[in-house]
Amino acid sequence: MLQHELDKELILQAGEQLQDMLSPNSEDDRQLMKKGLMLYRQGSVYNVKIDGHTVKANVQDVTPVRVVLELDFFTMSSCTCPAAFPCRHAAAAFLYLYASTEAVGTYMDAWNTKAQRAILAQLKPASKLVPSVSWKEDSLESWLAYFEFEYERWAENRPRTVQQLQSLYNHYYPALKKKAPKDADLRRFYLIHANLAVLFQMLRLLNETKPGEHLLHNVYHSYLEECIDTITYELREMRKFALPFSIDGLLKDSIEVFRRLLDVSDYMQYERLSVYRSLWTALLNQKKWVTDEAEWLQEKQNEEMKPEYGLALLHMEYLLGNDDVLFEKMEMFSDAGFVVLYDWVEDIISRKNWKRAGKWFSHMHGKIDAYINSDLPYEEKRRAIRYYLDLLGDYSMQSKDERLYENACRASLPFSYAEYHHFLVNRKQFKTWAELQLLLGFELYEIDRDLLKVVEKESPESLLTVYHHAIRHEIAQKTRSNYKFAVRYLKKARTLYKKLKKESQFEIYLGKLAHEHRRLRAFQEELKRGKLIHAE
């Protein structure tokens, strides 16, 4: 029986999460619950299976669907139907579970009571229906007052479960978005501030609730990143055109708001700093503002040694063009600090400032060795090197300086193998390509056959080196099957020697090889069987 397999508290908690996901003011949501109840009462839920806190069930509707309910984190549940989650099938499956603990009517009564409470909550005095500051589309003070007003409205009916952050994003942000100005420039800047407001409130919630790693990374992270992605998109769109002078006042007034990214929370440090840097690079890159911000940051750092202030100060050095100062200050970071430079290099390349880019890449080249020999995980270093070479490739193409790119590939091996491999093949540098295969220990059978044909045609002498290595490797294994592979490779080598018109050299090579391994009877037999040497 289900009541013996699932904890009652777990089902009740899941029920609260489901209620929090459905707006009591929405006719669509009320119809959803009504249809879910109907499916349950018709006996449409079947094949219910329980695995820990996960419940799987089939629901027979017009077509059968499969529902997976994650009782711990209901928002991670799913249904195979095309409707958005939660759907009527999820509601039906949940009511099936709820019936194992209490009467379904109890849950539906609680749902209806919640709807009535929400309606009554909206019947407030007129003084509380509007923000205290009158609405102005081009006023940051007006925007911030409206954000606070809507947050208070949300907070009065905030969920009591772990779904608070999801509710904040799904209900608070849409309310802010409705107020966005019609003017294109104002609208984009307003949406940046609206997403910042939501991000700040979500980070404060994290400060209060202190979620575990699983909840933070598997549930909450996606909502935080949605805000950051929207800010990044709107910034990118604003940068396509010169900003009108009319919003200069808004920009200057926004500096204080943007500073909150540095101290609103200890969570999401990298992401917060990335947004801060992007805002300053795209919107506030005026020498007077940057200089003032650098002074403010220095004062804050002197008062409180908070890492965010020091990292933000580095960005001000970048915006002021003080690259040597920035490089010197970066020496305090561990080898992992190599990747911190990427955002700046990416910005330099986007501005096509190739002279400055050359200086940055020369500096970074000197940091590669320490980075690849650091204790960071292999995959992390691989991703970092791949991205670095992508950036360097753009510069190399524009400056027509391939040496820097090739040197970087060499310096960052083995993490740069794929990029260096393609570089050498595309430029038909097959001798160096062959050396690369041997250096990294690739076996002949691991190399693409079509590529071998290309190398055989373009540079057969380069391929001979690879075959010589492969032959010795197979013989060293000292098994009959390996000897057969060695003989096969010897025949391929013979073809290459013949193509190079060096048959006599092959006979000398073969003779020395056979003599060197004369005591390996099985190998000698395979040489005879392959008609490479004659039977005595």
Q: H/E/C letters for each residue in 215-235? A: HHHHHHHHHHHHHHHHHHHHH
Cα 483 versus chain centre, distance: 47
Two tokens at 122? 């909206």
Contact 158, 164 (CB under 8 A): yes
pLDDT score of 159? 67
pLDDT score of 193? 94
Residue bearing tokens 């992390």: 380
pLDDT score of 133? 54
Neighbouring-strand partners of residue 50: 55
CA 288 to CA 308: how far, in whole Å? Answer: 22
DSSP 363-392: HHHTTHHHHHTSSS-HHHHHHHHHHHHHHH
Q: Is 317 helix (H, G, I), strand (E, B) or coil?
A: helix
Burial 278-314 (b: 16+ CB within 10 A, else e): bbbbbbbeeeebbeebbebbeebbeeeeeebbbbbbb
- For the chain, helix (H) and strand (E) counts, in that order, are 28, 4
Beta-strand ranges (E) seen in 417-508 are: none
CA dist 334 to 337, 340, 434, Å? 6, 11, 35
Residue extents of the structural domains in the chain: 2-121, 138-284, 286-332, 334-425, 430-529
Termini Cα distance of the chain: 82
Contact 436, 421 (CB under 8 A): yes
Torsion of CA 401, 402, 408, 414, to 10 degrees: 170
Query: Which residue positions in the chain have pLDDT lower than 50?
Result: 1, 3, 115-129
What phi, psi does 375 have (nearest 5°)? Answer: -90, 10
Which residues are CB-neighbours of 202 under 8 A, at least 6 positions away? Answer: 165, 168, 169, 220, 223, 224, 227
Cis amide prior to 131 (ω within 30 degrees): no
Two tokens at 513? 């090889």
Beta-strand ranges (E) seen in 477-535 are: none
Find the radius of gyration of the CA atoms of the chain: 33
Q: Is 71 helix (H, G, I), strand (E, B) or coil?
A: coil
Burial 128-163 (b: 16+ CB within 10 A, else e): eeebeeeeeebbbebbbbbbebbbebbeebbbebbb
User: Of all helices (H) and strands (E), which one includes residue 59?
Assistant: strand 54-60
CA 243 to CA 237: how far, in whole Å? Answer: 11
Burial 173-184 (b: 16+ CB within 10 A, else e): bebbeeebbeee
- Between helix 248-263 and helix 269-283 the angle, nearest 10°, is 160
User: Of all helices (H) and strands (E), which one includes residue 46?
Assistant: strand 45-51
**Helical H runs in 51-139?**
88-98, 104-121
DSSP 118-165: HHHHT---GGGSS-SSPP-TT-HHHHHHHHHHHHHHHHHT--SSTTHH
Contact 257, 193 (CB under 8 A): yes
Contact 169, 132 (CB under 8 A): no
Q: Is 55 helix (H, G, I), strand (E, B) or coil?
A: strand
Contact 79, 67 (CB under 8 A): yes
CA 384 to CA 401: how far, in whole Å? Answer: 22
